[in-house]
Amino acid sequence: MNDRADVSTTLENSPFFMPFSMNRQFKRHPRLLARAEGMHYYTPEGRKILDGTAGLWCVNAGHCRKKIVDAVSRGVATLDFAPPFQMGHPLAFEFAERLQPLLPKGLTRMFFTNSGSESVDTALKLALAYHRVRGEGHRMRLIGREKGYHGVNFGGTAVGGIVGNRRIFGALVTGVDHIRHTHDLARNAFSRGQPKHGAELAEDLERLCQLHDPSTIAAVIVEPVACSAGVYVPPQGYLQKLREICDRHGILLIFDEVINAWGRLGQPFASQHFGVTPDLITTAKGITNGTVPMGAVFMKEDMYQAFMTGPENTIEMPHGYTYSAHPVACAAGLGTMEVYEEEGLLTRVGEIAQYWEDAAHSLKDCPNVVDIRNIGLIAAVELSPRAGAPGARGFEAHLMAFEKGAYIRSTGDILAFAPPLIIQKSEIDELFGVAREVLKAIA
């Protein structure tokens, strides 16, 4: 305990402006993670914490996996950096080849970035540019969805649908609109898997098409399962309807699978789980098991080909990052895919999803629980807000869970669960056991 007091004294005035955090609260009461292995984190004082969130939805194979650590160490010792513009290195091409067979049918080409946010802004720019090179430059509008999270860059913030993430940043990007979210407690509370009601909400896209004229719309971006804002599973038939409306009007459909991909739903991509193929997929996180920052945008063959039409002495896509396809990230990604494949992790969730679902829904009798929802290896428990203090109950639950040895993320009054895909049944019991204790203890 003394160690902790010392740590907190030293952090109180730290120059580090923490991202997406309550800086003052945290620096007074730090929750530090010093080490990790498999399903667990360890605090500086050696307390063992069960990781209920796969880090931040990214460490799908569990922590500090030797194959990945070795790949990264070898990679950085061999080629620390190589310029990605007008130059290349073998691992970038090797990694692209390695990923291609995992993609939903029809998606063939990929662009590398360093994060989900960069993937989203890249995909939005690709969509605009694709229309433009095909002579449809009038398609300039970008459509997101309420409660969507698409990262924090300008495009992603603009198409994002979480008010608190947008409010203080002014007008963002023009020409953006949003379709309605699909959260419907009245009709769908305590749904297991995809809720029955709400496919018709996809028709909201048709409404925006009629409002703006479809010929002005470039792309629609949604998370198949919206995770960050509180886990909203798409109603049965909803994604199919979105696809139909996009097809009818020549609008590109982007699935933001920064979290959904890499086995979280029992398939490499959520698109495969739901049987709906978008034109573009954005991803990051699990692509390197969270070890080295990396993201990617996957696209259909005809999109890539649309750019390969001008004179050969032109740069086809004036877009890219200093660290696109960074050699150490590619090494990490190759190591990650090896572990995913050897351990069957991209399809393992199918085997444990039922156990997971039952465990999550066993919390139904706990105080203040107004909804439990789940799909794949994702679950959320929604609590009723405390009068006059929205979010307080959820945050307190997160804090108390950490004290009791589990990392459970809260977003407002919603607790989100998404552990590494290597989780064992006993650890599922432990995770929801801690959640049960916490929910009983907080008023």
Binding site for ligand PLP (CB under 6 A): 321-323
Give every CB contact of residue 141 below 8 A, 6+ residues apart in sequence. 175, 176, 177, 212, 216, 217, 218
* Chosen from ligand PLP, ligand PXG, none, partner binding at 323 (C-beta under 5 to 8 Å by type): ligand PLP
* Chosen from ligand PXG, ligand PLP, none, partner binding at 322 (C-beta under 5 to 8 Å by type): ligand PLP
Residues that bind ligand PXG (CB under 6 A): 56-57, 115-117, 120, 149-151, 223, 227-228, 256, 258-259, 284, 409, 411
Phi, psi of 143 (to 5 degrees): -115, 130
Give the Cα separation of 159 and 146 in Å (integer). Answer: 9
* Chosen from ligand PLP, ligand PXG, none, partner binding at 263 (C-beta under 5 to 8 Å by type): none
Q: How far is the CB of 264 from ligand PLP (least distance, A)?
A: 27
Give the Cα separation of 310 and 368 in Å (integer). Answer: 61
Q: Among residues 75 and 224, whose Cβ is nearest to ligand PXG? A: 224
Q: Among residues 43 and 283, whose Cβ is nearest to ligand PXG? A: 283
Give every CB contact of residue 196 below 8 A, 6+ residues apart in sequence. 187, 188, 235, 236
In the block, which residue shows the tokens 């009038």?
Answer: 138
Helix (H, G, I), strand (E, B) or coil at 296: strand
Q: How far is the CB of 118 from ligand PXG (least distance, A)?
A: 7
* Chosen from ligand PLP, ligand PXG, none, partner binding at 188 (C-beta under 5 to 8 Å by type): none
Q: Which residue is nearest to ligand PXG (CB)?
A: 116
* Chosen from ligand PLP, ligand PXG, none, partner binding at 151 (C-beta under 5 to 8 Å by type): ligand PXG
Q: Among residues 40 and 150, whose Cβ is nearest to ligand PLP? A: 150
Asked if residue 179 lies in contact with residue 210, where contact means CB atoms within 8 angstroms, the answer is: no
Give the Cα separation of 341 and 328 in Å (integer). Answer: 20
Tell me the CB-side half-sphere exposure of residue 279, using CA atoms within 13 A.
24
Q: Among residues 159 and 217, whose Cβ is nearest to ligand PXG? A: 159
Q: Among residues 222 and 306, whose Cβ is nearest to ligand PXG? A: 222
DSSP codes of every residue in 20-86 = TS-HHHHHHS-----EEEBTEEE-TT--EEEETTHHHHT-TT-BT-HHHHHHHHHHHHH-S----SS
Q: How far is the CB of 311 from ligand PXG (least distance, A)?
A: 35
Q: Among residues 84 and 104, whose Cβ is nearest to ligand PLP? A: 84
* Chosen from ligand PLP, ligand PXG, none, partner binding at 228 (C-beta under 5 to 8 Å by type): ligand PXG
